[in-house]
Amino acid sequence: DCPVLVLPHGVGFQKLVPDSRSSADRLSGVVPDALLETGRAWLTVSHPAQEEQLLATHPKAAGRTLVVGDPCFDELVGSRPRRKAYRDALAVAEHQRLVMVSSTWGPPSLLGSHPDLLARLLAQLPYDDYRVGAIIHPNVWSAHGAWQIHTLQAAALDAGLLLMPAIHAWRPALVAADVLIGDHGSVTLYGAAAGT
């Protein structure tokens, strides 16, 4: 009978995923209607527009949302003054453009469907003018391990790929980036929201 505060995974309630309890799809992160109807559950959203988006797709959440902000987005915006320090830490020269590639997990992800993309980018972009980095979803690191990821991306790493560590480096990498290439994952959405 305790209250339940639901924090969304990633950017928010914006993806339809298969529902394990039926053959239908459901909105990711939304609790079962029965829990909403008890009045025990509250869904957190980052801003009023996200609340409107959630209510348009899941009306039963009406009156059960709390606008709490988004600490990841706040960190991205608040870190902008440290952009040069982040670029220096990545050994990206002032004249170079940093192309960051973000891939979520699974076969439809960017690297799942184009595993040679990083090596191709590095082969096609002039090395003196560009650096290429990669942010790979933690599920990929967990499922495959560092050894397999390094093996699969050996050609790209040999060509100078900046491979971000699995957990916290994605935010500084986005701040440092000039361009972001991504798929349907949250990092791409955060990059777009932050203007990368």
Point out the least confidently predicted range of 5-9, 110-114, 117-121, 124-128. Answer: 5-9
pLDDT tens for 142-187 read 999 999 999 999 999 999 999 999 888 999 999 999 999 999 999 9
Arithmetic mean of pLDDT, 8-23: 78
pLDDT exceeds cutoff 90 at 19: no
Q: Where are the beta strands (DSSP E) in 16-137?
A: 16-18, 25-27, 41-45, 65-67, 97-103, 130-136
Mean pLDDT of the chain: 92
pLDDT tens for 68-96 read 999 899 999 999 999 999 999 999 999 99
Q: Options 3.40.50.1110, 3.40.50.150, 3.40.50.300, 3.40.50.2000; which CATH number does 81-194 get? A: 3.40.50.2000
CB-based contact 49:40 (threshold 8 Å): no
The ranges assigned to domains in the chain are 4-69, 81-194
Both tokens of 15, joined, read: 């993806």
pTM for the full model? 0.86
**Cα–Cα distance measured from residue 31 to residue 91, given in angstroms and rounded to the nearest whole number:** 44
- Rg over CA atoms, the chain: 19
